[in-house]
Each structure stands twice: as structure tokens, then as C-alpha cells.
């Protein structure tokens, strides 16, 4: 179970001022409803895990927060999605700036086919940072934050594709950190990694909550219990739309769930 429960209690006590918020959100892909009526507050500087069986809309829910679903033809969102109280689906929102503030780490490590240094410097360069000394500082700081600096400091100008899977995933996290986000979305970031690399990523996630809000989608119940402060359980309804069954502190949801369906899923009776 989460060994950080004391700090978790403090964090969740501030949920009345959430970092992210959804209210009565419905998501459609064309005529198909992927998510139904989801209302949820994500606390600041904490890890919120989204769990549930395959196909229940976990990744679609995650992508609401940086408008990645916009890239899917026919996608349509109803309801409110907010970042620090500001609706992010207004026409006036700069989506590029939004995705700088809300970064994303994908299921499979996806380093660019370039050097380790250029991978991390890619985002800052796109946002106008050009001076070599400034970029060197950003790259080192980001790699240190991602617990990767000591392993790659002598390989900065080698191809990122030569790194191990776990190192590549931490490099992708460093690439996100380099543009100074406020929120990090993680879509099953450890599913392609071995147990040793997984534990490194989990340790990294916990350390990052000192400065960042994290939302993670995971199929791994043990991982959700180990790393998260809050947990949201989604299920498919009869028409295959994903709906929120239960949401609360991870310790409560895993040890004393309010809904029988939550208990059945966590204990492996289905899913």
C-alpha cells in the first residue's frame, strides 16, 4: 500500500482547490460516447491514479487534460474541464501553451531519433531558447530531475535509441520536464518495462510530486496502491461508455471501497 499516507492526507485535504477539475464531462468520438458524466477534482502536488478494465475510457479521460483527443476526428467534449479554475476548452485557449503546462508521457517510450541532448533540448528550442549555455543547464537539470543524469552524462551526444527501455522512458520524462510543466500525465508509463525499471519510475514519480501534479493511468493495482494519493475507478456501462464508479484517497479505495464493483475489481473478481 501507499507508504506516503501521512503526506497524502495533507495533500488531499486541499482538494477544495484542485489543480485539475472535470464537471459533468461527456466525450464522444463521432456517434460513440466514450465517457459519461464524469465529475472529478485532481489535487495539486499529488499522484492521482485512474484504474479500471480495458476499454473503459481511462486513456481518453487522461487526454482530456491536454486536449489530445482533439487530434482524433469526430471527437467532441461536453461539460467543463478546468486547469486551476480556467476552462481549457474555450476557443481562446492556446493549445500549444496548454500542452506546455500539461505534459504527457506515453505508454511506450518514444524518444526522437536524435541525441540524448537534443531530445531534452527539443521543447525548449521550440519555445525560443537558443543559447547553448542555457540549453545545457536545462538539459542537465531535467535529466537530474528524471534520475537519469548520472547514467547518461557521458552519452549526451549519442543516439537516444541506444538507451535501455527504462532509460528511454526516463528520458521522455526529462523531455517533458524541460519545458517546465505544472502537470504530468502518464499513460501506463511502466507497462513496457521490467520490474527494476518500473520501481525506478515509481520512485521518480513520488519525488516529482514535490513540484508537479501527476495523473497516471495504470492496469497495475499494486502500482496504483504503491504510488498514488488518490484513485479513480472507471467502468464501462452497457453501451460501452466509461463512467466513474468511485473516487477517493487510495488507502480508502483499496481497503474500504464504498462500491461493491470497486471491491470486485481490486480483488480480481473481474477485469
Cell numbers placing 191: 507497462
Residue with cell 548520472: 150
The whole-number pLDDT of residue 1 equals 41
Q: Which residues does residue 49 pair with via DSSP β-bridges, in sequence order?
A: 216, 231
- Report, as ranges of residue numbers, the positions in the chain whose pLDDT lies below 50: 1-8, 10, 12-15
Q: What is the pLDDT of residue 7?
A: 44
Q: Where are the domains of the chain?
A: 5-111+181-266
Query: What's the confidence (pLDDT) of residue 12?
Result: 45
CA distances from 42 to 45, 71, 147, 183, 229 (A): 9, 24, 25, 10, 10
Q: Which fold has domain 5-111+181-266?
A: Rossmann fold (3.40.50)
pTM of the predicted model as reported, rounded to 2 decimal places: 0.92
Give how far the C-alpha of residue 115 lies from the chain's centroid of Cα atoms, to the nearest Å. Answer: 25
Residue 47 CA to residue 150 CA, distance in Å, equals 26
Q: What is the 3-state secondary structure (H, E, C) of 38-87?
A: EEEEECCCCEEEEECCCCCCHHHHHHHHHCHHHHCCCEEEEEEEEECCEE
Predicted local confidence at residue 271, as pLDDT = 59
Amino acid at each position: 500500500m501507499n507508504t506516503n499516507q501521512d503526506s497524502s492526507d495533507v495533500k488531499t485535504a486541499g482538494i477544495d482547490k484542485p489543480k485539475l477539475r472535470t464537471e459533468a464531462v461527456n466525450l464522444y468520438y463521432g456517434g460513440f460516447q466514450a465517457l459519461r458524466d464524469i465529475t472529478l477534482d485532481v489535487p495539486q502536488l499529488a499522484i492521482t491514479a485512474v484504474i479500471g478494465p480495458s476499454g473503459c475510457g481511462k486513456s481518453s479521460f487522461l487526454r482530456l487534460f491536454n486536449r489530445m483527443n482533439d487530434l482524433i476526428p469526430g471527437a467532441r467534449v461536453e461539460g467543463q474541464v478546468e486547469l486551476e479554475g480556467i476552462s481549457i476548452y474555450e476557443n481562446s485557449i492556446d493549445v500549444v501553451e496548454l500542452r506546455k503546462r500539461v505534459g504527457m508521457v506515453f505508454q511506450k517510450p518514444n524518444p526522437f531519433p536524435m541525441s540524448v541532448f537534443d531530445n531534452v533540448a527539443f521543447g525548449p528550442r521550440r519555445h525560443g531558447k537558443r543559447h547553448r549555455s542555457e540549453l545545457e543547464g536545462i538539459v542537465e537539470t531535467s535529466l537530474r530531475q528524471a534520475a537519469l543524469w548520472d547514467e547518461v552524462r557521458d552519452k549526451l551526444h549519442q543516439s537516444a535509441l541506444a538507451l535501455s527501455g527504462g532509460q528511454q522512458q526516463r528520458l521522455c520524462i526529462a523531455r517533458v520536464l524541460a519545458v517546465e510543466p505544472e502537470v504530468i500525465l502518464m499513460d501506463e508509463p511502466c507497462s513496457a518495462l521490467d520490474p527494476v525499471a518500473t520501481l525506478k519510475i515509481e520512485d521518480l514519480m513520488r519525488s516529482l510530486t514535490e513540484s508537479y501534479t501527476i495523473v497516471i493511468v495504470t492496469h497495475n493495482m499494486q502500482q496504483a496502491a504503491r504510488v498514488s494519493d488518490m484513485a479513480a475507478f472507471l467502468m464501462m456501462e452497457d453501451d460501452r461508455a466509461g463512467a466513474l464508479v468511485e473516487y477517493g484517497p487510495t488507502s480508502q479505495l483499496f481497503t474500504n471501497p464504498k462500491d461493491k464493483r470497486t471491491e470486485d475489481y481490486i480483488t480480481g473478481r473481474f477485469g
